[in-house]
A and B are shown apart, each in its own frame.
Chain A
């Protein structure tokens, strides 16, 4: 018997994991995904009652609501779906299921990084699209708006001669990092599974700010020299198409590698937490 990985066992575990989380979190995910419908109905009702007008939520407002719901989902999903693992009563069942840690980990990753975001974004954009199909006053679909925004993010003119191409993969990695950060928090802490990661994030940023502040105030980094160097660099290189043509792709590759490294480090931390968790 292969104790590390078996496709059939992984398939069984993924099915088990999927059924378990859909039974506990499926309804919440569905409600969040159908937020455009709820938003549309509420706005329309208010508008009809208070202004006697056919008022629907505008595109900017809908984009803001989408971002808000997405952030809430990606912060709460790991806690609600996998937070139980640290609880003795429920978590021990997962540990006792005859599947390897790798299989359990991969199922968790697949659900967290692909299935749930895909279901959420898919249903959300479809619901928004349907509303726009029925009501032409919606001001354009979110899907079209996002496609346009992503195209602009992915390739924008840094200088007239050298457009920067940002990899979509890198954008996805940023999202993966954020959700893994909260997943790790859900697996590490027995209580305050959302609050503690947020506090750690704030604390880390404060420490880094203080560190840089100290570097400047103690004179280890001279602000004037730094500014002069930046201006010199910008003047000499950043307007040079030859430099930009190789430096930007290089920076993109380096950034993508860094993102992969960070996400891999968080994924490893999740794996080892799962492997060593005790009840």
Chain B
């Protein structure tokens, strides 16, 4: 369990995160959304212990990630948006790196590499951006970590690889794992991320499960515009509209529409989901 309490962070005089409080529970794949510069990567690096919180604290199973104690590190992995190519064969690099994590399996790494149609006997420095990304994703999933923090994992992946990533993520992560994925490519991960966290400048606008979102908001894919809609967008053959679900009707959450609805109605949404936050 990850507990974040009154977390604050700034770059010099520029505050990025302020008074962030939330819990990240086991067995869930959190989608961390937000505009550019709201602190998504900063939050992930704080969770991974690569930065030290300036205010508040982060508690991962009773330890602070910034302690970087081996006991903490062997349960987690942070996959950055960009990773450096290493002049080493992927399989060899994965083997010598992975052996630090107690649950790492070389076979799993090879399996995921195969799933991605990626060759593990190729030098990482000779790989394309997409191939390199897939190698690091394969490594991240093969580590068997309890906590996985992925920053824009689908950036640079081709269309088949995005589907392969989704199936690998579902197949190779433990049921009690906590996965936090920061992304702008919400459509790539629409069917796997739940709950959704929407960060705003120095604030958390939303932290709710899809079930709760669909209970409180209605996503209308009809052809008629509603006056009460919080957000509407014209699509070919109709509209996508988001409005409060007063009647308790079922609807499929559209994350992009949700994100825009939240951003256009920050206070209303915060009030609506206040109990969750």
Contacts and interface: CB of A to CB of B under 8 A. Distances in A.
Interface of A: 1, 3, 6, 9, 12-13, 15-16, 19-20, 23-24, 84, 87-90, 92-93, 95-101, 275-276, 278-279
Contacts of B70: 1, 3, 6, 9, 98-100
B50 A92 contact: yes
A261 to B, nearest CB: 28
B88 A20 contact: yes
Given A1-B70, A3-B70, A90-B83, 19 more contacts: A1-B71, A3-B71, A12-B100, A20-B86, A20-B96, A23-B88, A88-B80, A89-B82, A89-B83, A92-B80, A93-B83, A93-B84, A93-B97, A95-B68, A96-B76, A98-B71, A98-B73, A98-B101, A279-B50
B149 to A, nearest CB: 10
B48 interface: yes
Contacts of B51: 278-279
Interface of B: 45, 48-52, 68-71, 73-74, 76-78, 80, 82-84, 86-88, 92, 96-97, 99-101
A273 to B, nearest CB: 14
Nearest to A24: B87
Main secondary structure of the interface of B (DSSP, over half): loop
A20 B238 CA distance: 56
Given A15-B96, A101-B68, A87 B101 contact: no
Contacts of A101: 68
B165 to A, nearest CB: 20
Contacts of B48: 92, 96
Top 6 nearest A-B pairs (CB, nearest first) are A98-B74, A98-B73, A90-B84, A3-B69, A89-B84, A279-B50
A97 B100 contact: yes
B70 to A, nearest CB: 4
Contacts of B99: 12
A96 B86 contact: no
Given A1-B70, A24-B87, A16 B80 contact: no
B69 to A, nearest CB: 4
20 contacts: A1-B71, A6-B70, A12-B99, A12-B100, A16-B97, A23-B88, A88-B80, A89-B82, A89-B84, A90-B84, A95-B68, A97-B73, A97-B97, A97-B100, A98-B71, A98-B73, A98-B74, A100-B68, A279-B45, A279-B51
B100 A16 contact: yes
A87 B74 CA distance: 22
> Which of B49, B70, B71, B88: most chain A CB closer than 10 A?
B70
Contacts of B97: 16, 93, 97
Nearest to B46: A278
A87 B84 CA distance: 9
Contacts of A89: 80, 82-84
A243 B105 CA distance: 68
A37 B22 CA distance: 64
A93 to B, nearest CB: 7
Contacts of B101: 98
A213 B74 CA distance: 56
A276 B74 CA distance: 19
Nearest to B81: A89
B10 to A, nearest CB: 13
A87 B97 CA distance: 18
A98 B75 CA distance: 9
B49 A95 contact: yes
Contacts of A278: 50-52
Contacts of B73: 96-99
A124 B147 CA distance: 48
A211 to B, nearest CB: 34
A5 B73 CA distance: 14
